[in-house]
């Protein structure tokens, strides 16, 4: 069994359509794949159709943007019912916020002489969620920085001209939507938030008190030290352990679908909750 429980498609900021993503995951040996688009479940129907063709188990999922003490924290919901009305209402609100944030990003960048970024990002996003990744692509295409990574650092992170603070869902609220939809809530990529030890303990304590059950111990960009420290956090807070590449695109070749380090053997994997 090879699990990859965190991936993106063109329904948000991934490069592959849901069907192509599933096909690549299958070819990479993944047996259980979660499609976790940002604030959106629109890719799941297409992904499920392809998964049925391949004989891969698709786990319906989502990655919800939350704001916790002013910081952006991502909560993955695994095995959700995408038709659950409360979840749908919640995601619809975040989708509206994504559009108004993008319009404001476009206006702010225009003040710096960069015109047309909202329209270009909208076009790049197609029918999917509009994200900072789409702005980054446009800015990189304009030659404004050497790489997408550099574009983020110079334009799209806190304190830079294209950054717009957004109050996404509350932590407890997002966990509530996931649970209401029958899913399991997972704190995604804990290293990404650059929290001190005491803030991470606080996050995981509040997350667990809200009904959250798992921590992404093996995340796409984690090194051995990250895995060990997340494993300790999972033990300390008695959280189940998840693994996910956070695959977006083949250009990020260090995040290969399904090619993830193993979970430390004493942890309980999140899939122990499931029968298949």
Task: Using CB under 6 A, list all residues that contact ligand AMP.
Answer: 13, 38, 65, 131-133, 148-149, 152, 248
User: Of residues 4, 246, 258, 263, which one binds Mn ion by CB under 5 A?
Assistant: 246
Structure tokens at 153: 């650092």
- Please, which residue, 75 or 267, has the CB nearer to ligand AMP? 75
Instruction: Write the CB contacts of 22 (distance below 8 Å, at least 6 apart in sequence).
Output: 33, 35, 47, 50, 51, 54, 56, 58
Q: How far is the CB of 118 from Mn ion (least distance, A)?
A: 18
Q: What residues numbered 99-138 form the site for Mn ion, per CB under 5 A? A: none
Q: How far is the CB of 104 from ligand AMP (least distance, A)?
A: 13
Contact predicate 142/129, CB 8 Å: no
Q: How many other C-beta atoms lie within 10 A of the C-beta of residue 44?
A: 23
Q: 147: number of CA atoms within 13 Å, CB side?
A: 5
Q: Which of 147, 174, 203 is nearest to 87 (CA)?
A: 174
User: Would you count residue 213 as binding Mn ion (CB under 5 A)?
Assistant: no
Residue 143 burial (C-beta neighbours within 10 Å; 0-12, 13-18, 19+):
exposed
Q: Which does 226 bind (CB under 5 to 8 A by kind): ligand AMP, Mn ion, none?
A: none
Q: How far is the CB of 169 from ligand AMP (least distance, A)?
A: 12
Q: Which does 41 bind (CB under 5 to 8 A by kind): ligand AMP, Mn ion, none?
A: none
- Please, which residue, 138 or 275, has the CB nearer to Mn ion? 138
User: Would you count residue 74 as binding Mn ion (CB under 5 A)?
Assistant: yes
- Please, which residue, 10 or 133, has the CB nearer to ligand AMP? 133
Give residue 6's Cα distance to chain centre. Answer: 7
- Please, which residue, 9 or 267, has the CB nearer to ligand AMP? 9
Q: Which of 13, 44, 63, 85 is nearest to 168 (CA)?
A: 63
Q: How far is the CB of 214 from ligand AMP (least distance, A)?
A: 19
Q: Which of 2, 15, 14, 19 is nearest to 53 (CA)?
A: 19
User: Would you count residue 39 as binding Mn ion (CB under 5 A)?
Assistant: no
- Please, which residue, 99 or 115, has the CB nearer to ligand AMP? 99
Q: How far is the CB of 24 from Mn ion (least distance, A)?
A: 16
Q: Which does 32 bind (CB under 5 to 8 A by kind): ligand AMP, Mn ion, none?
A: none
Instruction: Write the CB contacts of 16 (distance below 8 Å, at least 6 apart in sequence).
Output: 9, 10, 24, 249
Q: Which does 21 bind (CB under 5 to 8 A by kind): Mn ion, ligand AMP, none?
A: none
Contact predicate 246/255, CB 8 Å: yes
Size of the chain, expressed as the number of residues it contains: 276
Task: Please identify, among the stretches 25-33, 117-125, 174-182, 238-246, the one whose residues bind Mn ion according to the rule CB under 5 A.
Answer: 238-246
User: Would you count residue 37 as binding Mn ion (CB under 5 A)?
Assistant: no
Q: Which residues bind Mn ion (CB under 5 A)?
A: 13, 63, 74, 188, 246
């Amino acid at each position: 069994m090879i699990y990859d429980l965190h991936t993106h498609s063109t329904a948000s900021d991934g490069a592959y359509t849901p069907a192509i993503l599933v096909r690549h995951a299958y070819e990479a040996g993944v047996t259980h794949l979660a499609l976790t688009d940002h604030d959106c479940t629109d890719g799941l129907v297409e992904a499920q159709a392809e998964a049925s063709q391949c004989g891969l188990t698709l786990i319906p999922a989502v990655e919800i943007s939350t704001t916790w003490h002013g910081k952006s924290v991502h909560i993955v919901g695994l095995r959700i019912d995408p038709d659950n009305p409360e979840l749908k209402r919640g995601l619809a609100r975040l989708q509206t916020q994504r559009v108004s944030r993008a319009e404001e990003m476009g206006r702010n960048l225009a003040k710096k002489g960069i015109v047309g970024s909202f329209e270009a990002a909208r076009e790049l996003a197609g029918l999917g969620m509009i994200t900072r990744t789409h702005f980054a692509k446009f800015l990189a295409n304009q030659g404004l920085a050497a790489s997408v990574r550099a574009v983020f650092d110079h334009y799209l992170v806190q304190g830079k001209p294209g950054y717009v603070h957004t109050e996404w869902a509350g932590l407890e609220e997002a966990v509530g939507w996931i649970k209401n939809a029958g899913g399991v809530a997972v704190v995604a990529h804990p290293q990404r938030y650059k929290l001190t030890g005491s803030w991470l303990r606080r996050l995981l304590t509040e997350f667990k008190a809200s009904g959250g059950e798992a921590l992404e111990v093996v995340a796409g960009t984690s090194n051995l030290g990250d895995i060990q420290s997340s494993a300790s956090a999972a033990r300390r807070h008695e959280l189940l352990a998840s693994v996910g590449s956070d695959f977006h695109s083949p250009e990020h070749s260090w995040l290969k679908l399904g090619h993830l380090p193993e979970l430390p053997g004493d942890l309980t994997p999140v899939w122990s909750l499931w029968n298949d």
